[in-house]
Structure 1
Amino acid sequence: MEPDSPSLPAPSDLATAIQPWVASARWHFGDTAHVKPYHVAILDSAPNAFAIWFVADDGLRYNIPLVLRIRGSYRAEAAAPSPVGTFQEWDIFDATDDPEGQRLILERSIAPSPHNPLIAHSINTVGSVVAARRLTSEQSNTSIIYDLEDGSRIIIKVFRVFTPGHNPDVELQQALGSTGTVPRQYGSAQLEIEGGVADVVVVQEFLTGTTDAWQVITQDLKDCDGTLGALGPQITDLGRLTRRFHTALAEAFPTVHADAQHITAIRDSWAQRAAAAIAAVPELGEFEGQIEMVYTATAHVNWPDLQRIHGDYHLGQVLNAAGRGWFALDFEGEPLRPLAERTQPDLALRDVAGMLRSFDYAVGSAELDGGDREALASWGEAAREAFLFGYGTLDEEEQVLLDALMLDKALYEVSYEVAQRPTWLPIPVAGVKRILHSN
């Protein structure tokens, strides 16, 4: 820093300056953002500028990499980002949206160094970067795409919400790296915090020329005639992909016998979600007895061993890459669930249930848009059969468990839609009734 440059703002001043921006961010969970500084580390410094890794505390831990520049020192460019806050002479920028910040996040994530506040783990070599841009469709994380000199691309994901420990999106995709079921991983970075380490960034291959399965299927359903048509083999391949990564995860990580304690805990969670759904939509109360019967049936079958799974598997988590087929993404699980829960072995059939419910959502959204109900229902049944054919035929006992897991997922969706998207509530409600009527 030049001698006459002002001092870096205190962490508490930074927290106050960025609080309105944090409160409105898609990745912030809660109604307000009374963030407190929890951890601040210098990524880099230069005349008139600082790049820092800021960790905020709002009941949750948030990763908020920032670039601070003396006002007026930012070069005049049409593409310059807008500040997310100001303090005295400083303009404060989101580092994921700032060219220098984007460069530093990548470098600090793949280049181990004693002066690096992040603990970098390099797996594969990254070529020279020629351009970078942040994805605007962020949700619980923030992603940056980098164009490389050789024409390929990589993507960085900054885990906005984190807890100490290994993020399953990093851990599981590393384990699956040689299976061809996930994009290639280049590296990851951890932050030393709370007496341990936490994954905060992952760097992986960006698959070009792709569309996610939700886009592929909802586009096809606009002209649904009740048959799968050319999508049939693709849906079968999606089932095969799911079986492949389940098999690989069972080999890479320890499996656990589903004893009475595990089974009771899982069934208790089903009962809790059912009670929440009925409280949210009282009309489902008339089905309480039938719901209990579906769950009770699982007490009379043999449960398979529990294993690591995707945990939040649906059509939006799968990409179709031209000439390469399907790839699974986002093994993080539900980010607001405690990390210990998201890394626990579970029923692999939970992922199957999630994908089948996602097919039902695609059908339901097409029906809400005016599609033919009978044709869409026929398509949904055919999609279910094609996916399960690819995954592998389930025996009667597995089918009992799958029915319970699908019902549990649909009841969870009821509570979600009541709170988030009431216009879509008919989709999971109809799903609950259909599952019950088929049993």
Structure 2
Amino acid sequence: MSDAVARAAAHPGLLASLEPLLREWLPRQRWFAGKGRPVTGFSLVAATELLPPGGSSALLHLLVRAHQPEIPAQGGTAHPGDCYQLLTGVRETLPPRLAPALIGRPQEGPLAGRAVYEGLSDPRASAVLLEAIRARARIGRLRFEGDARQPIREGLVPRRMTSEQSNSSVVYGDTFVFKLLRRIVPGTHPDLELPLALAHEGCPRVPPPAGWLLADPDGPGEAYVLGVLQPYVRGATDGWELALHELAKSEDFTPKARALGRATAEVHGALALALPTVTLEQHRLRLLAEGMTERLDTAAGAVPALRPYAPGLRSAFRALAGLAAEGRTWTAQRIHGDLHLGQCLHSPSGAWSLIDFEGEPSKPLAERRMPQPTLRDIAGMLRSFDYAAHSVNPPATRWADACRAAYCSGYAEVAGRDPRTEPVLLRAYETDKAVYEVLYEARHRPDWLPVPLAAIRRLAAGAAA
């Protein structure tokens, strides 16, 4: 099997044999960014054989570009030609436990008749990744690297995490978690860059990277970051699940919200020390307000329920532009970029950790790496408390208000400034986030649309006032 798969990785007909299977399988994956548009073809960026122990199975690492009709960048979905990372297992016979992972059986080509399946679902296959990082291996264009200060012992049993969205993760022996990035772009990736910078500053709020996977380009250019290995926070509960649990029990969440505010401020402070900060002056702030207004116009054109509130929402953005015209400035720095309760882990000791520094995957990498005011992260968390409160019936608005206030107070305890003392910029960011949520829910989860619309009504009324 191994020799056959090695030949398959280099075979010119490999992609042609897999294409009919990928056309069906790839758009069904939650992490596929181009939903709603047909796939018109594929091109193979790279194929590498990763050889597991024994000879009963094999694993192909594929970087595949999916071609789709072009859409405007503001649509929030993929650009044409997005590159995806696939770990493709190959077996003569697929055991019943792996049946749900089956991609299909190619009818022709170098893998004809064999079972091709999602490799991360196979513990034997996913163990290859950890062993390669442990050995600091170089396989073809793939480089497995790591932090020598975090030794990786042999024999850690892998299990795939089921709560997956834009990427896929495997836990190894409750010691490490490996996040495999699915949509791949060249360049410095914030999900590796920022945790490394925070580790250098000694920030305890973010698990330090223990290893990472890179792919070298064919010619001149920046490497692709393909995955990051970090310590697994044992017994931790993500903030969203914890908030819902305590809401259901009518328990007071404000102490945890205050502690989360302190943790957020600690991360922001460490990032400001580790990486450059800039000053946003009139021109940049005007562009920021214009971008928010454009996103509102796009969303209102797509979601009729948003249109009655558009004038009030625009006034929030006009207020920001007005401060810019008066000469007001703000400091911008690297931030999390997509902060919400689900990006936070609460450990049994009571400590909070922040994870997933990828930023919003729909945005270009260069945009995600731009310095921004910390209030953008804070607005995202305030919206997350509101989401949790509206997940119960009737909505727990007092719970949300108390958590939002506690979070801001906790942030102020560490940062020395309360986010609520910057009401114009905070409201603009919260409004921009709510508009994004309306468009997302209208497209993907219509039943959830009342949640952001409730915030839209509040924000529109407040901005108009």
TM-score, structure 2 as length reference: 0.84
Aligned residues: 422
* Cα pair distance change 1:289/1:187, threshold 3 Å: same
* Cα pair distance change 1:86/1:351, threshold 3 Å: same
Alignment correspondent of 1:402: 426
* Cα pair distance change 1:3/1:64, threshold 3 Å: closer
TM superposition shift of 1:436: 2.9
8 Å contact kept, 2:48–2:140: no
Distance between the aligned counterparts of 1:221 and 1:113, measured in 2? 47
8 Å contact kept, 1:258–1:304: yes
* Cα pair distance change 1:321/1:41, threshold 3 Å: same
Superposition pairs of residues 292-303 of structure 1, within 5 angstroms: 292-298=314-320, 299-300=322-323, 302-303=328-329
Alignment correspondent of 2:355: 329
Alignment correspondent of 2:334: 308
Alignment of 1:54 onto 2:62: yes
Matched residue SS, 1:295: helix
Q: Deviations over 1:119-153 (max 9, x none)?
A: 22211211122411111222111111111xxxx52
TM superposition shift of 1:25: 1.5
Alignment correspondent of 1:213: 239
Deviates more, 1:277-286 or 1:18-27: 277-286
Q: Deviations over 1:242-294 (max 9, x none)?
A: 11101111111111110233212211210012112322333543433322322
The residue type paired with residue 50 of structure 2 is L
Alignment of 1:64 onto 2:69: no
The residue type paired with residue 22 of structure 1 is L
Deviates more, 1:175-184 or 1:137-146: 175-184
* Cα pair distance change 1:282/1:107, threshold 3 Å: same
Alignment of 1:40 onto 2:40: no
8 Å contact kept, 1:232–1:386: yes
Gaps of 5+ in 1: none
Distance between the aligned counterparts of 1:106 and 1:156, measured in 2? 8
Distance between the aligned counterparts of 2:388 and 2:376, measured in 1? 19
Matched residue SS, 1:196: coil
TM-score, structure 1 as length reference: 0.89
8 Å contact kept, 2:281–2:330: no
Superposition pairs of residues 361-400 of structure 1, within 5 angstroms: 361-366=387-392, 370-371=393-394, 373=395, 376-392=396-412, 393-394=417-418, 398-400=422-424
Alignment of 1:84 onto 2:103: yes
The residue type paired with residue 127 of structure 1 is R
TM superposition shift of 1:2: 8.0
Matched residue SS, 1:176: helix
8 Å contact kept, 1:407–1:435: yes
8 Å contact kept, 2:137–2:145: no
Distance between the aligned counterparts of 1:3 and 1:97, measured in 2? 23
TM superposition shift of 1:349: 0.3
Alignment correspondent of 1:27: 31
Distance between the aligned counterparts of 2:309 and 2:18, measured in 1? 52
Matched residue SS, 2:241: helix
Superposition pairs of residues 412-431 of structure 1, within 5 angstroms: 412-431=436-455
* Aligned equivalent of 1:433, options 448, 457, 464: 457
Superposition pairs of residues 158-307 of structure 1, within 5 angstroms: 158-177=180-199, 178-193=202-217, 195-224=221-250, 230-298=252-320, 299-300=322-323, 302-307=328-333
8 Å contact kept, 1:43–1:116: no
8 Å contact kept, 1:333–1:342: yes
Alignment of 1:97 onto 2:121: yes
Alignment of 1:139 onto 2:165: yes
Distance between the aligned counterparts of 2:128 and 2:282, measured in 1? 50
8 Å contact kept, 2:138–2:144: no
* Cα pair distance change 1:163/1:5, threshold 3 Å: closer
Matched residue SS, 2:47: strand
Distance between the aligned counterparts of 1:186 and 1:3, measured in 2? 32
* Cα pair distance change 1:189/1:329, threshold 3 Å: same
8 Å contact kept, 1:159–1:201: yes
8 Å contact kept, 2:408–2:420: no
Distance between the aligned counterparts of 1:343 and 1:284, measured in 2? 30
* Cα pair distance change 1:5/1:381, threshold 3 Å: closer
The residue type paired with residue 190 of structure 2 is P
8 Å contact kept, 1:110–1:189: no
The residue type paired with residue 412 of structure 1 is Y
Deviates more, 1:213-222 or 1:242-251: 213-222
8 Å contact kept, 1:213–1:316: yes
% of aligned pairs identical?
32
Distance between the aligned counterparts of 2:125 and 2:285, measured in 1? 47
8 Å contact kept, 1:319–1:329: yes
* Cα pair distance change 1:6/1:107, threshold 3 Å: closer
